[in-house]
Amino acid sequence: MVRSLCVFPTKHAALQNCLTLCPQQTETVRRRVSAGYAPGRREKIELSADSGCGTAKLVSAKLSGPVESIPDAAEEQIVSHSQTLPSHTPVLIVGAGPTGLSLAIELVRRNVECLLIDRNPAPLPFDRATVIHSRSLECFETMGTIDEFLARGHIMRGFNIFAFGKKIAQTSFESLECRHPYDLNLAENETEDILTARLESLGGRVSRGWSLEGLNQTDTEVTATLKSAEGVETTVTADWLVGTDGIHSRVRESIGVAVAGHQYPARWGVVDGYLPDWQHEPDRAAIQIDAPALNPVPMPGMRWRIYFRVFDETQIDDLLEQIDSGLASISPGTRLQDPDQPMLYHTFRQLSAHYRSSRVLLAGDAAHACSPIEGHGMNTGIQDSFNLGWKLAHVIKGQAGDGLLNSYELERRPIANAVGASGDIAEELRTIPDEPAAVERVKRALCAMLLPARGQLQAAEAETEISFHYRDSPLVRGYHAAGAAAQQNWLGPRPGDCLPEAGPLSHPQTDTTLTLFDLLRSTGHLLLWLATDEIEAPNAADLASVLQPGDTCVIISTTPPEKLEQTDSTQAKWLIDETGSVHAKLGIIDPTLFLIRPDGHIALRCEPPQLEQITAYYQILQT
Ligand SMILES: Cc1cc2nc3c(=O)[nH]c(=O)nc-3n(C[C@H](O)[C@H](O)[C@H](O)COP(=O)(O)OP(=O)(O)OC[C@H]3O[C@@H](n4cnc5c(N)ncnc54)[C@H](O)[C@@H]3O)c2cc1C
C-alpha cells in the first residue's frame, strides 16, 4: 500500500516533467492517467503538450495503455534506485534515451564505471524515432546486441518516390557494400528496451526517477545536484559528466553553452495503422511529393507509420480522410485501417556552439537536433556515443590525455551540422506549394538526382550514414614513404573513413571464415597488417612494444596457408585473403598497415608498414 502511494505520484511527476504541461493540461493528464492505472483498464489518452523528449513539439498524442508498459518490477526499482546513488562516480550520464544508453554500454564494456540517471521513473511509452540506419546497426553489432535488433525490427530495403500518382524514382540500399545494406525500422521505446537489456547484461543499469537540477565544476570534478521524483535532493560528484538529456538539455543550460537554430514553418504529423491493400513492396518506404505530402514507412507486425505534412492548419479535423486520399493516389483502393490518433509536431534544427565545457560534454539531442524527416536524430546521437565512449574510457584509464576529448566535438559537430543542413533541404522540398508546376519542378530535380546509378548510390549512402567520415580530424594520420602527394593516389579507404566490409578471410588453423567487420569486436584498437606476395610480418616483441592493452593485431596475406611456416610468425592472428577481395577493397598494391580505432574508423594508413607511425599516433592521444 505504501509503495503504491509513493510510486503513483512518481509516475505522474515524470509524465509532467517530460511533457511540460500547463495547469489545465496537467489536470487532464492526471485524471486520464489515473483512470489508466485502474486495474484491468486500458484506455486511450489524448495529451496536448510540449514534448521535451525529442526534436519535435508533440501537440496531440494518444497513449494506449501506459499502465501495461510500466511493470511492477520497474516500480520496485524506482524506490530502491532513489536510495542507492553513489556519492562519486567516474562518469555521470544524465538522460537514458538512446544516446545515454549507448554511451553507458560503451563505457561498461570497457570496465569503466558510470552512473546513468533519468528523471523518468519508467521508459517513455511514446513512439518517436523509427528508422535505424546501417551505420548505427554496425555500432550495435560491435556493442554486442545486433541479434536482438534484427529479431525485433523490420528491414527496409529502400524507398520509392511518387508524383501525380506515379512512381518516378527509387533508391535501393541493397547495392551498398556494407555489413547491413538496409535500414531497420523499430519503435524508439523498443530500441531503448534492447539497449537497456544489453547494459544490464554487462552489469550496468539505469537509475530512474532522478533529475539533474544543476551542476558546478572545478578543474578536477563536477558536482551535480540531483532531485528524486519524491523531492529528495542529493549531490553526486563525478570526474566527467555527459549531458544526454535531450533537446531541452538542463546540462547544456547549466554550462551556458549557446544553441542556435530555427523552427520549421509547417507541422508534420504521424499516424500508425495497417495498409492491407498496399500495392508496393512491403519493405520500402514511399515518399509522395505532391499534396497531401506523405511518407508511409513499414514497421514490424505488418503495421505502417505514415508521416504527413500539414499544409492547411484549418483542416486538421479530417486528417485521416486527407491521408486516405493521399494513399489512394499512390495505391488505388488503399485505406489506413485501425489507425491510432494522429500526432502533430513542430520540428526544429538546432546546434550547440560547443560539445565540451571542461569536464562536461554534450551528446545526442542535447547537442544537436534536426528535422525528423530523414530519420537522423537518434542515429546521430547513438553514433556520438560510439565516438565518445572509447575516448572517455581511454582518458579515464590513463591511456590518453584529456585533449583526446576535444576531437569528439571536432569529429561529430560537422556531422550534426551536415545532417541539419540536409534536413533543411528535405523540409524545403516538402513545403512546395500544391500546384502542378511546383510539383513538376521538384519531380524533375529528384529524377535528375536519382535516375543515374551514381546518384542513387550517393542517396543510399547518405541515408544509411555509412559514408560519414572523420578525414579532417587532427586525430587521423596518413603516411606514404613516397610523400604526401602519393597519398592522393591511394585506392580504397583513407584515414578517417570507416573500415569497409569485405571478405571472405579464412583462418588456416581453424578452417573458419570471417569478414573484415568480424574483426571489430575488441574494445581497443585493431592493427591490420596487409601483406602482399611476400610474407612481411612484424615480430611479436616489436608489436608488443607499440600496442596498448586491449589492442589486437591481425595479419592478412594472400599467400596460401602451407607457406606460412616460412615466416617469423608472431602472436598475431593470421588470416588468408584467398580471393584477394579484402586487398582489393582496401586498395592494397604494396604492403600496408592500417590502425583501426575502437569505433571502426581508420586512425592510420601507413605504406609501407612502419611501427613507429603507430607510436606517433599514440603520442597524439597523450596530448
Ligand atoms: C516524430 C519523431 C520521429 C523521429 N524519427 C526519427 C527516426 O526515424 N530516426 C532517428 O534517428 N531519429 C528520429 N527522431 C529523433 C529522435 O527521436 C531523437 O533524436 C532521439 O530521441 C534523441 O535521443 P537522445 O537520447 O539524445 O534524447 P532523448 O531520447 O530525448 O532522451 C533524453 C532523456 O533524458 C532524460 N532527461 C531529460 N532531462 C533530464 C534531467 N534534467 N535529469 C535527468 N534526466 C533527464 C529524459 O527523460 C530522456 O529519457 C524522431 C523524432 C520525432 C519527434
Residue 235, judged by CB atoms within 10 A of its CB (0-12, 13-18, 19+), counts as: middle
So what's the pLDDT on residue 393?
A: 97
At residue 452 the predicted structure's pLDDT band, cuts being 50, 70 and 90, is confident
Ligand 1: atom nearest CA of 369 is 19
Whether residue 61 has its Cβ less than 6 Å from ligand 1: no
Which of 559, 589, 557, 580 minimizes the C-alpha distance to 492? 589
Which of 614, 356, 409 minimizes the C-alpha distance to 495? 614
Q: How many domains does the chain have?
A: 1
C-alpha cell at 448: 535528375
588 C-alpha to ligand 1 centroid (Å): 42
Pocket test for ligand 1, best of 118, 208, 387, 464 (most atoms within 8 A of CB): 118
Residue 255 has pLDDT above 80, yes or no: yes
| pLDDT mean over 366-378 | 92
| pLDDT mean over 581-598 | 95
Give residue 605's domain range. 477-621
Ligand 1: atom nearest CA of 100 is 25
208 C-alpha to ligand 1 centroid (Å): 16
Whether residue 158 has its Cβ less than 6 Å from ligand 1: no
> Does residue 531 form part of some domain?
yes
At residue 434 the predicted structure's pLDDT band, cuts being 50, 70 and 90, is confident
| pLDDT mean over 33-40 | 27
394 C-alpha to ligand 1 centroid (Å): 27
> Does residue 551 form part of some domain?
yes
Does a cis peptide bond (omega within 30 degrees of 0) precede residue 504? yes
| pLDDT mean over 71-92 | 62
Ligand 1: atom nearest CA of 131 is 8
472-486 tens-digit pLDDT:
999 999 999 999 999
So what's the pLDDT on residue 18?
A: 27
Which of 8, 94, 13, 16 minimizes the C-alpha distance to 51? 16
Q: What is the DSSP string of 514-545?
A: E-GGGGTTSSS-EEEEE--SS-----HHHHHH
So what's the pLDDT on residue 305?
A: 95
> Does residue 235 form part of some domain?
no
5-9, 402-406, 517-521, 597-601: lowest mean pLDDT where? 5-9
Share of the chain above pLDDT 70, in %: 83
> Does residue 468 form part of some domain?
no
| pLDDT mean over 184-207 | 97
Whether residue 129 has its Cβ less than 6 Å from ligand 1: yes
Ligand 1 atom 11, closest CA: 378
Ligand 1 atom 33, closest CA: 95
Specify whether the CB–CB gap between 185 and 299 falls below 8 A.
yes
| pLDDT mean over 335-350 | 91
20 C-alpha to ligand 1 centroid (Å): 15
Residue 118 has pLDDT above 80, yes or no: yes
Which of 415, 405, 616, 406 minimizes the C-alpha distance to 498? 415
> Does residue 148 form part of some domain?
no
Kind and range of the H or E run holding 133: none
Whether residue 381 has its Cβ less than 6 Å from ligand 1: yes
Whether residue 496 has its Cβ less than 6 Å from ligand 1: no
| pLDDT mean over 484-495 | 94
So what's the pLDDT on residue 402?
A: 96
- Rounded to the nearest angstrom, the gap between the alpha carbon of residue 318 and the centroid of all alpha carbons in its chain is 35
CB atoms within 10 A of CB 276: 12
Whether residue 116 has its Cβ less than 6 Å from ligand 1: no
> Does residue 85 form part of some domain?
no
At residue 439 the predicted structure's pLDDT band, cuts being 50, 70 and 90, is confident
56 C-alpha to ligand 1 centroid (Å): 9
Query: How far apart are the C-alpha atoms of 226 and 505, rounded to whole Å?
Result: 51
Kind and range of the H or E run holding 90: strand 88-94
CB atoms within 10 A of CB 335: 18
The dihedral formed by the CA atoms of 421, 427, 429 and 433, expressed in degrees to the nearest 10 = -150
> Does residue 471 form part of some domain?
no
At residue 442 the predicted structure's pLDDT band, cuts being 50, 70 and 90, is confident
C-alpha cell at 394: 581511454
Whether residue 97 has its Cβ less than 6 Å from ligand 1: yes
C-alpha cell at 197: 537489456
Provide the β-strand partners of residue 185: 131, 154
Ligand 1 atom 22, closest CA: 378
> Does residue 529 form part of some domain?
yes
| pLDDT mean over 363-374 | 93
Q: What is the CATH number of the domain that holds 562?
A: 3.40.30.10
At residue 435 the predicted structure's pLDDT band, cuts being 50, 70 and 90, is confident
Pocket test for ligand 1, best of 18, 19, 20, 53 (most atoms within 8 A of CB): 53
At residue 506 the predicted structure's pLDDT band, cuts being 50, 70 and 90, is very high
So what's the pLDDT on residue 531?
A: 86
